C-alpha cells in the first residue's frame, strides 16, 4: 500500500473532500474521518428520514439511518470514524493533538469556517510545523465570492457546463450528476500527492487552496479556447458530435434501453449501411459525405432509430461491432454489476457492513502491479473508532474517554435533530 505511512485528518463532508480521501484510503493512507455529533456529514442523511428513500438498503432507513446511507457508505470505506465537538475547550485540546500526529488536514467547509474557530493555517502549524492543509471551499479562499456557500448541484451552471448540456433548440440541462464534486476530489488528490512529494524533498508543509468551482471550470478548456478563437459560443446538441455523424444514442427494444453509435470515417459508414441492411444509403446524396450526414442528422437518426428499436441493445452492439462500427449499450446500474468484464477485473467489491450487510461497491479504479490498492473495511458507523483513535493514537485513558462521552464531546449517537 504505497501511502501506508501517511495520516490524514479528514474534516471534509458530502462528496468532494471525501472522494479525495477515499482515493488516498484506497492506496493505504490512514484516514481519520472526524464528524460532529450535532452536524455530522450530510451524506449520512437525516436523523429521522422518511421510508422509501433509495439511498438506504431496501429503501428502509432502519433504527440508525445515519449508519445505513449508501452515499456515505460508498465514499468512506477503509477510513476510521471519530466524533468530536470543537465548541468545547476539551474538544479543542483533543483536536490539536490529532493535528499534531497528522500529515494532512483537509476540509471543504464554507470559506473561513475553521478559521472562525481559531484555526487558520498558521495556528494549525503550531501543532505540526510541516502540516499540509487542504482547504476546499466552494469558491476558493480569495475573491468576491469566497464567502458564499455552494454545492456541486450549482457548479455546472456557474462553470458554463450547463449552457452546453441539453438538446438543440431547448434550454440548458443539468447533466444528472454533480460533476464538480468528484472532479474536485480528483484534483485535490493530485495536488496533495504533489505536496507530499515536495515535503519529502524539502521538509516543508503547504497550504493548498482548492476551489470546487474552478475545478468545474477546468473541464471547459476546449470550449473556452474555441470561443476565444472563433467568437462563437458552443451549441447544445444532446448526444451528437461536432465532427462525426451518425453519433448518437438510439432507442432499442425494451423499456428505456439504448445503444450508442459513432461512425467516424467513410469505411465505417459503408460497413454501417450494410450492417443495418440498407447499403443503398452509402451513396445516398444526403448521406454520402461526412458533411452531408451532419447536415441531415435528423433524417439519418430517424432511419437508424427504426432499425435499433427492433433489436436488443446488446444485439445491436454485436452486429455493429462485428462490422467494425463503434457501438456500445447504454448500461444501467444492474447491467454494470452483472457485466462479465467488470466482474473479471474486480471493478466492484463486496463489503460487509455491520448495519447494512454485504453490498457491492466500486472498488479500485486502477490496477498497479507492485502496490495494488485495496478496500480494507467498510465505512465507519458514527464514532465507531473513538476508543481506538483516542486511546491507541493519542494515549487517552479509558477514564478520560469515558469523560469525553459523558460530556457529549464524543459519542456514537447524533445529538441534533437535523443536519445541514
pLDDT value of residue 165:
87
- Looking at residues 379-394, what average pLDDT do you find? 98
The answer to whether the CB of 254 falls within 8 A of the CB of 316 is no
Q: Is 21 strand, coil or helix?
A: helix
In the predicted model, is pLDDT for residue 282 greater than 60? yes
How far, in Å, CA of 410 to CA of 402, rounded? 9
The per-residue pLDDT for range 163-195, each reduced to its tens digit, is 888 898 899 888 888 888 999 999 999 999 999
How far, in Å, CA of 101 to CA of 123, rounded? 15
How far, in Å, CA of 5 to CA of 26, rounded? 13
In the predicted model, is pLDDT for residue 418 greater than 60? no
Lowest mean pLDDT of 6-10, 95-99, 215-219, name the range. 215-219
Whether cis (ω within 30° of 0) applies to the bond prior to 134 is no
How far, in Å, CA of 36 to CA of 367, rounded? 35
How far, in Å, CA of 68 to CA of 356, rounded? 6
pLDDT value of residue 417:
54
In CATH, the number for domain 247-335 is: 3.30.1540.10
Q: Which residues, listed in sequence order, are joined to residue 261 by a DSSP beta bridge?
A: 248, 327
Query: What distance lies between CA 317 and its chain's CA centroid?
Result: 29
Among candidate residues 238, 246, 237, the one with its CA nearest the CA of residue 327? 246
Alpha-carbon torsion 20, 21, 24, 25, what sign?
negative
- Looking at residues 103-127, what average pLDDT do you find? 96
**CATH 3.30.1540.10 occupies which residues in the chain?**
247-335
- Secondary structure, 3-state, 258-297: EEEEECCCHHHHHHHHHHCCCHHHHHCCCCCCHHHHHHCH
Phi, psi of 123 (to 5 degrees): -70, -40
**Average predicted confidence (pLDDT) for the chain:** 94
How far, in Å, CA of 265 to CA of 245, rounded? 9
Among candidate residues 157, 194, 191, 192, the one with its CA nearest the CA of residue 174? 157
- Looking at residues 303-307, what average pLDDT do you find? 98
Among candidate residues 65, 3, 80, the one with its CA nearest the CA of residue 389? 80
Q: 132-135 and 80-83: which strand pairing?
A: unpaired
Instruction: DSSP letter for 65, please.
Output: G
pLDDT value of residue 420:
43
In the predicted model, is pLDDT for residue 419 greater than 70? no
The proportion of the chain whose per-residue pLDDT surpasses 90, expressed as a percent, equals 84
CATH architecture label of 7-219+368-406? 3-Layer(aba) Sandwich (3.40)
In the predicted model, is pLDDT for residue 276 greater than 50? yes
Q: Is 178 strand, coil or helix?
A: coil
**CATH 3.40.50.10540 occupies which residues in the chain?**
7-219+368-406
How far, in Å, CA of 100 to CA of 95, rounded? 9
The per-residue pLDDT for range 205-214, each reduced to its tens digit, is 999 999 999 9
Q: Which residues, listed in sequence order, are joined to residue 106 by a DSSP beta bridge?
A: 10, 134
Q: Is 209 strand, coil or helix?
A: strand
Burial status of residue 332 (CB atoms within 10 A of its CB: 0-12, 13-18, 19 or more): exposed
Query: What distance lies between CA 292 and its chain's CA centroid?
Result: 39
Among candidate residues 361, 385, 377, the one with its CA nearest the CA of residue 78? 377
Instruction: DSSP letter for 143, please.
Output: S
Start-to-end Cα distance in the chain: 35
- Looking at residues 215-238, what average pLDDT do you find? 89
Q: Which residues, listed in sequence order, are joined to residue 359 by a DSSP beta bridge?
A: 351
The per-residue pLDDT for range 36-83, each reduced to its tens digit, is 999 999 999 999 999 899 899 999 999 999 999 999 999 999 999 999
The answer to whether the CB of 250 falls within 8 A of the CB of 229 is no
- Looking at residues 217-228, what average pLDDT do you find? 89
**So which residues are the catalytic ones?**
181
Amino acid at each position: 500500500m504505497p501511502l501506508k505511512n501517511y495520516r490524514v485528518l479528514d474534516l471534509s463532508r458530502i462528496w468532494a473532500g471525501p472522494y479525495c480521501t477515499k482515493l488516498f484510503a484506497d492506496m493505504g493512507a490512514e484516514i481519520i474521518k472526524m464528524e460532529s455529533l450535532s452536524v455530522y456529514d450530510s451524506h449520512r442523511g437525516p436523523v429521522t428520514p422518511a421510508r422509501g428513500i433509495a439511498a438506504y438498503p431496501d429503501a428502509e432507513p432502519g433504527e440508525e439511518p445515519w449508519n445505513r446511507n449508501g452515499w456515505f457508505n460508498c465514499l468512506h470505506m477503509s477510513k476510521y470514524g471519530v466524533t468530536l465537538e470543537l465548541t468545547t475547550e476539551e474538544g479543542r485540546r483533543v483536536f490539536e493533538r490529532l493535528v499534531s500526529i497528522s500529515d494532512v488536514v483537509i476540509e471543504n467547509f464554507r470559506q473561513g469556517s475553521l478559521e472562525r474557530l481559531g484555526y487558520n493555517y498558521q495556528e494549525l502549524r503550531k501543532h505540526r510545523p510541516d502540516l499540509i492543509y487542504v482547504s476546499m471551499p466552494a469558491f476558493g479562499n480569495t475573491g468576491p465570492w469566497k464567502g458564499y456557500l455552494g454545492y456541486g448541484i450549482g457548479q455546472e451552471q456557474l462553470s458554463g457546463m450547463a449552457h452546453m448540456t441539453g438538446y438543440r433548440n431547448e434550454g440548458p440541462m443539468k447533466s444528472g450528476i454533480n460533476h464538480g464534486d468528484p472532479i474536485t476530489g480528483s484534483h485535490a488528490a493530485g495536488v496533495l500527492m504533489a505536496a507530499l512529494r515536495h515535503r519529502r524533498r524539502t521538509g516543508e508543509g503547504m497550504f493548498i487552496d482548492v476551489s470546487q468551482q474552478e475545478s468545474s471550470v477546468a473541464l471547459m478548456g476546449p470550449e473556452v479556447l474555441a470561443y476565444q478563437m472563433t467568437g462563437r459560443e458552443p451549441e447544445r446538441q444532446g448526444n451528437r458530435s461536432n465532427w462525426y455523424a451518425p453519433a448518437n444514442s438510439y432507442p432499442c427494444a425494451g423499456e428505456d434501453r439504448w445503444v450508442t453509435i459513432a461512425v467516424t470515417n467513410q469505411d465505417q459508414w459503408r460497413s454501417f449501411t450494410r450492417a443495418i441492411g440498407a447499403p443503398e444509403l452509402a451513396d445516398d446524396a444526403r448521406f454520402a459525405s461526412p458533411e452531408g450526414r451532419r447536415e441531415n442528422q435528423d433524417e439519418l437518426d430517424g432511419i437508424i432509430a427504426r432499425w435499433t428499436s427492433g433489436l436488443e441493445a446488446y444485439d445491436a452492439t454485436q452486429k455493429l461491432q462485428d462490422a467494425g462500427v463503434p457501438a456500445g449499450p447504454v448500461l444501467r446500474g444492474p447491467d454494470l454489476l452483472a457485466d462479465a468484464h467488470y466482474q473479471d477485473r474486480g471493478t466492484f467489491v463486496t463489503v460487509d457492513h455491520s448495519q447494512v450487510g454485504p453490498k457491492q461497491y466500486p472498488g479500485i479504479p486502477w490496477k498497479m502491479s507492485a502496490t495494488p490498492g485495496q478496500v480494507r473495511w467498510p465505512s465507519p458507523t458514527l464514532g465507531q473508532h473513538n476508543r481506538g483513535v483516542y486511546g491507541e493514537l493519542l494515549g487517552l485513558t479509558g477514564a478520560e474517554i469515558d469523560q469525553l462521552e459523558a460530556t457529549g464531546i464524543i459519542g456514537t449517537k447524533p445529538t441534533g435533530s437535523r443536519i445541514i
